[in-house]
Structure 1
Amino acid sequence: MATKIVLIGAGSAQFGYGTLGDIFQSTTLAGSEIVLHDINPRALAATEQTARDFLAARDLPFTVSATVDRKAALRGADFVIISIEVGDRFALWDQDWQIPQQYGIQQVYGENGGPGGLFHSLRIIPPILEICADIADICPDAWTFNYSNPMSRICTTVHRRFPGLNFVGMCHEIASLERYLPEMLDTPFSNLALRAGGLNHFSVLLEASYRDSGKDAYADIRARAPGYFGKLPGYSDILEYTRTHGKLVDTEGSTERDALGGADSAYPWADRTLFREILEKFHHLPITGDSHFGEYIRWAHEVSDHRGILDFYTFYRNYLGQVEPVIELKLKERVVPIMEGMLTDAGYEEGAVNIPNQGFIRQLPEFMAVEVPAIIDRKGVHGIRLDMPAGVAGLLCNQVAVHDLTAEAVLQGSRDLVIQALLVDSVNDKCRRIPEMVDLMIDRQRPYLDYLK
C-alpha cells in the first residue's frame, strides 16, 4: 500500500513547495500519495496545480490531491506535516513584540520566548490542538511533524492534551552547524560527530569530535570561533547588500560570507554579540543567533545585536513578500530523512527533534518538550540522553514554569494563568500593569484570544 503523506498548511507556497520538493526527490517515498490541505481554497488550488504540473513534466511516481476537508485529508494517513500560522502573521508579530515593550518589558524579538512568544503560543496552539484532535480520532498511529512556532510550547501543550500522539517538532536551526563548522575547522561535515540540545531556539552544541581521529573537536571550536564569527557577515550586511544591488540573498545551505561573495562583516560579531557572551561565559556554542537565543534570557537585552535583529526582521519580511517559491528536487528540511528512516528501519541518528523529555535532559521535567538528537527506526523516534552542563541547564530551567503555565492557560482558557505566565517569566520584570497589557492583547488580537476568560 502506498505511503500517505498529508501536508496541513499547504496553501503557503513557502511550506508547500519546499516540502513537496523534499518529498519528490526521495526514491524511498516514490509512489506515495500526497494530500494537500489548507483552509484557503484558492491558495490550496495553486499549490495543487503547481505540484501536478511539476510531476507531469518530470514523470515522477507520486500522486497529489487537495482538499479543504481536513477529516477527509487525514483518513489513512501515515505521516502528517503541519506548518500553519493564524491571521496576518507580521501584523500580529508586531503587536507581540511592540506592545510588551510599550509596557516596559525589554524583549529582544517576540516570536518564541518572552511575552511575544506567550501571545504567539496562545494564538496558534488552539488550532493545532484541533488538528491533533482529528489526528487522534482518524489516524491515531500516524506520525505528525510540526514546523510551526513557538515550537517547544506547542509540543509541550500537545503532548499534555494528547499524550499518546506521535507528535514531533522539527526545526532547521541545527543546520547552522553544517554551514559553519566545516569552514571553521577546515574539515568535511561528514568528518564531524556532533550532538546538540536544549530547548528549541535555545540549544547549544554539547559534543564535537573528529571521526577520522576520534579526537575532541570542541577545543578547536572554542579557539577558532572568535576569529570566525567575529568577522562573519550578518543580516545588517545582507540587508545593505540587497538594497545596494537590488536583489535578494538566499543564505540557506551556505554561509553568509559565501552569499556575499567572501566579504567580512562591517559589524563585529554581527547577529552574535549575545552568542559571544554565551560562548565566553558558558563555554558552549549556541546553534542559533541573538534573535532567537535572546528571547529566553533577561539580560540578553543588554548585550544582543539589536541592529542585526531589526535588520533581520526587515530582511525576512521583505524576503517573504518578494521571493517566488518554486518546487526543487533538493533536500532542504529533515522530515523526509526521518520518514525514510522509519520506513527502512534505518537506525540512524537524527541531529535534533522536539519530543517529551524522558530523562534526556535530567535537569528538566518530563512534561517539557526538549530538543535532542534521536535514533530513527521503524518503531519511531527515540531520544538520546545528553550531559547538560550546569550553567546551560540553569538557563533552560528558567523556562519550566513558563511552559507549564502556557500549556495550562491554553487548555483552561484562563486569563489569570496568562498573567501568571508573564509574572514568572524571567524576561519580564514588571507587575502592576501586566493585567492591563493582557486585556489589551486579548482585545487587539480578536478573535484568536477570545477564548481566554
Structure 2
Amino acid sequence: MRAKQDSPCQQIDGGKMSRTKLVLIGAGSTVFTQRLVADIILAGEEDKWELALVDIDPVTLDAVNKLVAKMLEAKSAEIPVTATTERREVLKGADFVVTTIAVGGRKGWQTDIEVPRKHGIFQPVGDTAMPGGISRAMRMIPQMIAIANDVAELCPDAHFFNYSNPMTAICRAIRRETGVPVVGLCHGVHHVEGVLARFLGVAEDDLTSYGIGLNHLTYLTRLRLRGADAIPLFHARLDEQAPTLARELAEKTVWDNIVQGRAPRWADDPFSWGHFRRYSIFPCAMDRHAVEFYPERFPGGAYCGHKLGVEAFPIDERISLGDTWYDEMLAIANSPDPLPASYYENVPGESEQLLEIMHSLMFDRREVFSVNLPNDGAAPYLPAGAVLECNAAAVGGGFKALRADDLPPALVAKLCAKIAAVEITVDAAIQGSRDMMIEAMLADGAVTDPDAAASLTDDLLAAHAEHLPQFAA
C-alpha cells in the first residue's frame, strides 16, 4: 500500500481538496464492496474518497449501506456514502465507475449449470465459456451496454472498470458497440501467482508472472522468483512429484475449488501442470477454469475418473457458498450490535488490486497489472481489437499494454478459436438471435451436433426468458 500522503484528490475548490468519486454498480456483491472499503480505510484514505453504492435490489442495497456505515464507525473513519437503486443519479461527476453486476444473480448462475447437465454437459464454473458462459452473456451484455451508454453521457472522462463475467464477451461488446473504453479487471492472475508461489514454497510477493490470453485462460509465458527465471524450479518440483502422481490421482475423490491449508500439488491441477510440462507455459487460472476452454478433451465432463462440476471442482457448493456469505452479510448489517472485533481479519483488503490500480492511474506511477484490453498490437499474432488479458502499465490517463511474448502455434490456434466464439456470442446477445446463439454453442466446442445445440439453446432461453427481452420477438 502506498503512503497515504499521496492524495487521490483531483481538484482544489475554494482552498479545499475535492474528493475522488467512486461509483460501485452492483454494490451488493457479497465480498467486493466490503474488501474495497477495507482497503481504503486501512490505507488511511477515508478523507480522500466519496462512494456511491448502486444496486437494483433495495434490500441488498440497504444491507450493504448499513454494513459500510458499521465498517466506517469501527475505525472512526468518515467517507461520504450515497446509496441508490438508480445509477444515473450518481454517475455525474464520477472519477471511477466499477461494475460487479450479475443479471439473474446466483439463481441464474445455478440455472446455467443445471440446464446443460440435462444435456450431458458438465461445467466446473459456467460463467465464462461453454454453454453456461454463453447463456450468461445473453443476460449480461445488454445491461452492460446500457450502463456504458450512461457512463458515456454522464461521466465520459471516468475510468470504467468491469469485474462481471463473462469478462471477455462483455468488454468486447461494450468496446465494439459503444466505443466506451471499459477495462476488464480480474483477480485471477494475481491469485494464481500466489498459488504458484505456494507450490514452490516461497513467499507470495516474491513470484511474478507475465502472460497473454483471454480472461481465465491467460498463458503465463514467464514466471520469475525475485527476478530470476523460476521455470526450471517448477519443472524440478514436478520431477519430485511425478513418481507419486498416478497414485495421488487414483486416490483423489474431490478436487477443491481452492486448495487451502497445504501446499498445492500436481494432482490438484493435472491438466494445467501437464500443459506446463509440454510448453513451459502455465494456463491461468488453473484447471477449474482452463478445462472449460478445452471441452473436447473432457467429453461428458469426464476428468480423471470424476465429473467436472460435481466431484471435481463442485460448482453447486461454490454457488451455495455465495448464498451463505450473503446471509452472513445481511445478519451483520442488520444486527443492532457493532461489527465483531475480528471483522477486519475475516474481510481482508487487497480487493482485486483496485486501489493500487487507481493510484497508478492518478499519479502516473506506471505500475504494471494484468488487465483486459483490446489487442492494439500487444499480440500481433492474434486478431486486432480482440479483448485480451495482458500486462499493461497504468499510466496517467489510462493503460498501455506491454508487448506479449510469442506463443506456440497450438496455443495461438486455441485463442483464435475462442476469440471467434466470443464474437459470435456478442452478436447473438446484441441481436437477440436464437440462430446466432446456436452458432456460438457450436463454435465454443462443448456441443458438436447442431440439433443438440438448438435444443440446449431453447432450454436456456426458456429458463432465462425474464432476463432476455431482446429474444422476445
| The two structures share one fold, judged by TM-score above 0.5 | yes
Determine if the alignment matches structure 1 residue 451 to structure 2 residue 448.
no
Partner of 1:170: 185
Q: Which residue of 1 aligns with 2:320?
A: 318
Q: Which residue of 2 aligns with 1:209?
A: 224
2:272 alignment counterpart: 275
Distance in 1 (alpha carbons) for counterparts of 2:113 and 2:317: 17
Q: Secondary structure, in 3 states, of the residue corresponding to 2:48?
A: coil
For residues 116 and 216 of structure 1, the distance between their equivalents in structure 2, rounded to whole angstroms, comes to 37
C-alpha deviation, 1:296, in angstroms: 1.3
Describe how 1:178-193 pairs up with structure 2 within 5 A: 178-193=193-208
Q: Give the whole-Å Cα distance in 2 for the aligned partners of 1:99 and 1:289.
A: 25
- State the secondary structure of the residue aligned to 1:166: coil
Match of 2:403 among 374, 378, 385: 385
Structural mapping, 1:249-398, within 5 Å? 256=259, 259-260=260-261, 262=262, 269-270=267-268, 272-301=269-298, 304=303, 306-307=306-307, 309-311=309-311, 312-323=314-325, 324-325=328-329, 328=347, 330-350=349-369, 352-390=370-408, 391-398=410-417
Superposition deviation, residue 160 in structure 1: 0.6
User: Secondary structure of the equivalent of 1:439?
Assistant: helix
Distance in 2, matches of 1:330 and 1:94, equals: 28
8 Å CA contact 2:46, 2:77 repeated in 1: no
User: Which of 442, 447, 458 matches 1:423?
Assistant: 442
Q: Superposition pairs for residues 24-173 of structure 1, below 5 Å?
A: 24-27=41-44, 30-89=47-106, 91-105=107-121, 109-163=125-179, 165-173=180-188
Within 1, Cα distance between the matches of 2:196 and 2:277? 18
Whole-angstrom distance in 1 between the partners of 2:228 and 2:63 = 51
Structure 1 CA distance for aligned equivalents of residues 122 and 71 of structure 2: 47
> Judging changes above 3 Å, is the alpha-carbon distance between structure 1 residues 61 and 344 closer, same or farther for their aligned structure 2 residues?
farther
Q: Give per-residue Cα distances to partners, 1:50-99, cap 9 Å, x unaligned.
A: 2123213322242212111210111100001110112242x433432343
SS where residue 182 of structure 2 aligns? strand
Distance 1:440 1:117, change over 3 A: same
Change (3 A) 1:38 1:25: same
Change (3 A) 1:392 1:237: closer
Task: Report the alpha carbon displacement of residue 310 of structure 1 after superposing the two structures with TM.
Answer: 2.2
For the 8 Å contact 2:195–2:264, the answer to whether it is kept is no
Displacement after TM superposition at 1:373 (Å) = 0.9
State the Cα distance separating 1:9 from its structure 2 match. 0.8
Range moving further from structure 2, 322-331 or 70-79: 322-331
Answer yes or no: is the 8 Å Cα contact 2:217–2:285 preserved in 1. yes
8 Å CA contact 1:82–1:145 kept in 2: the answer is: yes
TM, length-normalised to structure 1: 0.85
Q: Distance in 1 between matches of 2:224 and 2:264?
A: 28
Rounded Cα–Cα distance in structure 1 between residues aligned with 2:121 and 2:307? 18
Deviations 1:209-245 (A, max 9, x none): 344xx54221222332465696799993659xxxxxx
Q: Residues of 2 paired with 1:35 and 1:204: CA distance?
A: 36
Distance 1:88 1:332 in 2: 21
Q: In angstroms, what is the RMSD of aligned CA positions?
A: 2.8
Query: Residues of 2 paired with 1:130 and 1:71: CA distance?
Result: 11
Q: How far apart are residue 189 of structure 1 and its match?
A: 4.2
Q: Distance in 2 between matches of 1:87 and 1:217?
A: 42
Worse overlay, 52-61 or 361-370: 52-61
Q: How much does 1:374 deviate?
A: 0.8
Q: Gaps spanning 5+ residues in structure 2: where? A: 1-17, 330-342
How many residues are matched?
427
Q: Which amino acid aligns with 1:304?
A: Y
Counterpart secondary structure, 2:446? coil
Report 1:401-416 matches (<5 A).
Answer: 401-416=420-435
Cα shift at 1:330: 2.3
Change (3 A) 1:62 1:113: same
Distance 2:292 2:256 in 1: 22
Amino acid corresponding to residue 159 of structure 1 in structure 2: R
CA displacement at 1:315 relative to structure 2: 3.2
Q: Percent identity?
A: 29
- Displacement of 1:308: 6.6
The offset of 1:346, in angstroms, is: 0.8
C-alpha change, 1:440 and 1:314, in structure 2 (3 Å) is: closer
